[in-house]
Chain A
Amino acid sequence: GENVEQHPSTLSVQEGDSAVIKCTYSDSASNYFPWYKQELGKRPQLIIDIRSNVGEKKDQRIAVTLNKTAKHFSLHITETQPEDSAVYFCAARRNDYKLSFGAGTTVTVRA
């Protein structure tokens, strides 16, 4: 089955700096890679995603990159703000719709 590994588990950054979270997946049948943000006490919500036929995608201050050969994908947040503090999850979905998540990264943005 799919195994999604996520690093680091915690990340503390100064406001205005960048944050990078990295994930690897094991199942070659995975073809879609979403990222979710979960604020304290709330449900996870999609922030950005990338399909297997795309190498990079950007949406304002967040971007995601995918290296299919190495089975790596990463989330980049630039110009971090206090409201970016949350838990971030990467995920990988197979073509049979099995959706597996990483263990999460707790991001703290210091003012």
Chain B
Amino acid sequence: NAGVTQTPKFQVLKTGQSMTLQCAQDMNHNSMYWYRQDPGMGLRLIYYSASEGTTDKGEVPNGYNVSRLNKREFSLRLESAAPSQTSVYFCASLDGRNTEAFFGQGTRLTVV
């Protein structure tokens, strides 16, 4: 039982490159989330998926797209990376019956 798994753990991109961050959970959770964490700014919600087949914008969606591929997987795509997207990205999931959100180990992304 791995919980929430994110890949990759580290990534360096050049400005303008694209990439997809992968997230998978094996807890049969309905809801999944993508956050970015920057110093002094906490965890800011990028997108969330309350259930399979739905996605909604969070507080900072600009420059990102998401896909809820199936119940297990929720990916985050940067189409044209910018230095302002340098951050640590966390994926999380939760089951609506229980309330605890479980986080992945994070992806440290640097855009140069």
Counting CB contacts under 8 A, is B8 at the interface?
Answer: no
Are the C-beta atoms of B100 and A34 separated by less than 8 Å?
yes
Residues of B within 8 A of A89 (CB): 42-43
* Surface stretch bound by A, among B20-28, B44-52, B76-84: B44-52
Interface residues of A in 1-48 (CB under 8 A from B): 1, 6, 9, 32, 34, 43-46
Minimum Cβ distance to chain A for residue B99 (Å): 6
- Name the prevailing secondary structure of the A interface residues: strand
Residues of B within 8 A of A93 (CB): 99
Range class of the B interface residue count: 20 to 34
Nearest CB in chain A to that of B41: its residue? A103
Are the C-beta atoms of A9 and B48 separated by less than 8 Å?
no
Cβ-neighbour of B44 out of A32, A46, A51, A101 (below 8 A): A101
Interface residues of B in 16-63 (CB under 8 A from A): 30-31, 33, 35, 40-45, 48, 50, 56, 58-59
Whole-angstrom CA separation of A51 from B40 in the bound complex:
27
Are the C-beta atoms of A6 and B42 separated by less than 8 Å?
yes
Known: A43-B106, A46-B100. A97 touches B48 (CB 8 A): yes
Counting CB contacts under 8 A, is A81 at the interface?
Answer: no
Are the C-beta atoms of B48 and A98 separated by less than 8 Å?
yes
A-B contact pairs, 7 of them (CB 8 A): A34-B99, A45-B103, A46-B100, A49-B99, A89-B43, A96-B50, A101-B35
